[in-house]
Structure 1
């Protein structure tokens, strides 16, 4: 039975492969949101789409983040959330649910820091707020700045590295990274 005010729910089947899935692991789930909105079962904004975990009858709502290359009202909408318990190798965890169908839903919990190990959407103007630090290599001169959901690395001489989950070693004059990086991204030295 769905939790009021949500009219619908779907059980998620999270299957570990040959290796166990640890607690606090980021998981992505596909959702045909277009079909749900076409049937008036979900809001176009996706505000009513929520992830819950049922832990022995106790429901806990989890933060979820829309995949940056995905969109609401699409046939291949992708949502990320973080597991709250380990899943043994080759086992299936059926304690996670997608709830939807609340026509008055406000914005859901969607804190990337509660979904990913390291998260930065580069929109607060502080480069090191998401686990990143700028490392100038040798006698390099350069700077990092963020604005408008973009990270800009500028180098006037030498190489620089951005240390964290996102590893970049650049020798070009300027690099711009836009969007939200969900996977580990590695750059190579050019030039």
Structure 2
């Protein structure tokens, strides 16, 4: 089995892991983690908010394994921010569509015939004509796998903390919602992949 490059198409997994105080689990994977620029900007846009500041410190302090991929949408939004113009509310989603559809984006990773895992929470994620080296896994599926490997004692404890935040600096409105409970999504790549440490 070969290791994966992990692609984060939305901010959900990082937001959820932050709520539970478990961003460190991403480092346990010991894999390259790709985030598109507009999603990174969405995650880190308000440094007066504890989550954004801590996520920025975490990603910036762990590069690698984190890699921020440039997109045209992300560049346009950064330029608007510099000029004080209104930003699009869905820039992260648009940037991911840009990344997935552009030859220099996701396709570049898939062409290498190495396994790629998409770690997601967006229930609307659809992958048409899924290539044989693409693995789909949700945050809940990731936690179940980490529990099976003994990396964490209990996926349910981490998920409960995501659903009912009690960590310092977390607010009730930070609570996460999942559509794939109790088991999560874990659809391996047909060619064989290993996202597990």
Give the alignment's TM-score, normalised by structure 1: 0.25
Higher-RCO chain (CA-CA 8 Å, sequence separation at least 6): 2
Structure with the higher fraction of residues in helix conformation: 2
The structure with the largest alpha-carbon Rg is 1
Structure with the higher fraction of residues in strand conformation: 1
Give the alignment's TM-score, normalised by structure 2: 0.24
